[in-house]
Amino acid sequence: MAWQISTPPIMRPDDANVAGNVHGGTILKMIEEAGAIISTRHCNSQNGERCVAALARVERTDFLSPMCIGEVAHVSAEITYTSKHSVEVQVNVMSENILTGTKKLTNKATLWYVPLSLKNVDKVLEVPPVVYSRQEQEEEGRKRYEAQKLERMETKWKNGDIVQPVMNPEPNTVSYSQSSLIHLVGPSDCTLHGFVHGGVTMKLMDEVAGIVAARHCKTNIVTASVDAINFHDKIRKGCVITISGRMTFTSNKSMEIEVLVDADPVVDNSQKRYRAASAFFTYVSLSQEGKPLPVPQLVPETEDEKKRFEEGKGRYLQMKAKRQGQAEPQA
């Protein structure tokens, strides 16, 4: 439906971890670039004010199969729904072994974009409608739109919730593995508007989540899935962003890591530090042979940590039940 694109970069050593698996953040960045291209094309397909599509949200994304160094990534995108001010894009990622010709599906993702005027970045423009082959497609898309809009409002984080460092933490605690990365936003990180690409932010978030997982397990780790990533506010060029990660829950073979992105407009004294994005990443621990390993169990210490652990457990059981085709998680 509407525009379709395909971009086939080859995966190189600097795209991968020590085991040769491509970083989840690298794949997320490719997904976002494809989504931004197709949605910007669509939003400029009619005469009117020119715009650039900005990423507002990424739905849960599962990493179905690892991608390795030397493989070619085929990224295709399709517009599946439009509301008055937003675009839903479905992106698929296939990996191709160019020696054997074997292809496999590695990722499927749904992204939401809003068109921002090139003349006024705070002005959201109207989206040209798409033509649906079936009426049910529009109705189903409207339900997805309303659901993600509600969840975005419910999960907007408070600026006061920050990750604080702790001196001499014990192993397997939240404080032991929590990590932060500080990044100065430069021109190469930004769109035509001078705001950070969503893919750049997601790659940094995955990098921090990977550090947290590696510190906790001390093994090779890979991204298994990313829960919905919500972009609460735009990040301007020149901002200093702090990406913080902390472990919230562990099952026998997986780890949930909360990642928060805060922006500090150091060149603008009129604006205070604010929460720009948030998400939950799930990682698994692997042996040198690529086999799943048991995960050291997290030891929550404070009441807040215990609360986040139970909330993470609920999300884990809900997704486990969904995979098993059950309506509700079982105790």
| Pairwise CA distance, residues 185 & 183, whole Å | 6
Residue 168's pLDDT is 74
Residue 328's pLDDT is 52
Helix (H) / strand (E) containing 256: strand 255-264
**174-326 placed in CATH 3.10.129.10:** yes
Alpha-carbon distances of 103 from 61, 95, 300, rounded to whole Å: 19, 6, 42
Catalogue the active-site residues: 17, 206
Q: How many CB atoms lie within 10 A of CB 103?
A: 13
Choosing among 3.40.190.10, 3.10.129.10, 3.30.2090.10, 3.30.499.10, the CATH entry for 2-148 is 3.10.129.10
Contact 91, 101 (CB under 8 A): no
Residue 156's pLDDT is 61
Contact 217, 293 (CB under 8 A): yes
Residue 191's pLDDT is 86
Q: How many CB atoms lie within 10 A of CB 101?
A: 7
Q: Average pLDDT per run of 10 along the chain, which is 331 residues long? A: 58 86 93 94 92 93 92 94 96 94 95 93 92 91 92 63 74 95 94 89 96 95 92 92 96 96 86 91 91 95 95 92 64 43
Residue 7's pLDDT is 55
Domain 174-326 in the same topology as domain 2-148: yes
Q: Decide: helix, strand or coil at residue 27.
A: helix
Residue 162's pLDDT is 67
Alpha-carbon distances of 219 from 107, 137, 160, 204, rounded to whole Å: 24, 44, 33, 20
R_g (Cα) of the chain, nearest Å: 20
| Pairwise CA distance, residues 259 & 107, whole Å | 21
Task: Name the DSSP letter for residue 51.
Answer: E
Q: Hey, where are the domains in the chain?
A: 2-148, 174-326
